[in-house]
């Protein structure tokens, strides 16, 4: 494994990912939707790399600057209590956006027979809970005994 440069489990995980991707590719081709899938994939790459990545990078830099200005240097880890719930909420939005933003009402109702009206409220509630739990954890970490003077924050 010295030639590979990583542990064996890493190579096995990578091979497993390629196997799954290969299986998905065969299913897409078998379903006859490969052209639409290729357009969607290219669009997702362009949207992420040219639009979303600069946006959330700028938001992260701004958040770091704000927390550095508001919090003492020892408590600069507060930005992670914003990053994690924002990332989880964004991931949920990315996966379920057609239902959350009500762009798939007709198809969803035809396929499942249900309305998509609860998705926005549920996503909003999950986002609120994620930020609330993260804020509570941050408050508990700040009040925890033994985190004061004489001990460095890792």
- Residue 58: phi and psi, rounded to 5, are -65, -40
CB contact set of 76 (below 8 Å; sequence gap of 6+): 64, 67, 68
Task: Give me the pLDDT at residue 23, please.
Answer: 97
> Three-state SS across 20-74?
HHHHHHHHHHHHCCHHHHHHHHHHHHHHHHHHHHHHHHHHHHHHHHHHHHHCCHH
- 0.85 exceeded by pTM: no
Task: Give me the pLDDT at residue 13, please.
Answer: 96
Interval 39-58: pLDDT, tens: 888 988 898 889 988 998 99
Residues of the chain with pLDDT under 50: 149-150, 154
């Amino acid at each position: 494994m010295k030639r590979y440069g990583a542990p064996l489990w890493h190579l096995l995980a990578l091979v497993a990912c390629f196997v799954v991707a290969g299986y998905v590719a065969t299913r897409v081709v078998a379903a006859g939707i490969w052209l639409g899938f290729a357009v969607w994939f290219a669009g997702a790459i362009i949207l992420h790399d040219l639009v979303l990545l600069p946006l959330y990078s700028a938001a992260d830099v701004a958040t770091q600057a704000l927390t550095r200005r508001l919090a003492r240097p020892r408590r600069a880890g507060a930005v992670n209590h914003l990053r994690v719930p924002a990332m989880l909420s964004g991931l949920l939005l990315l996966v379920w956006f057609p239902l959350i933003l009500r762009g798939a009402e007709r198809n969803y109702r035809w396929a499942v027979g249900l309305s998509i009206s609860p998705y926005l409220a549920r996503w909003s509630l999950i986002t609120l809970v994620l930020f609330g739990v993260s804020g509570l954890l941050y408050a508990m970490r700040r009040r925890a005994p033994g985190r004061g003077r004489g001990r460095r924050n890792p």
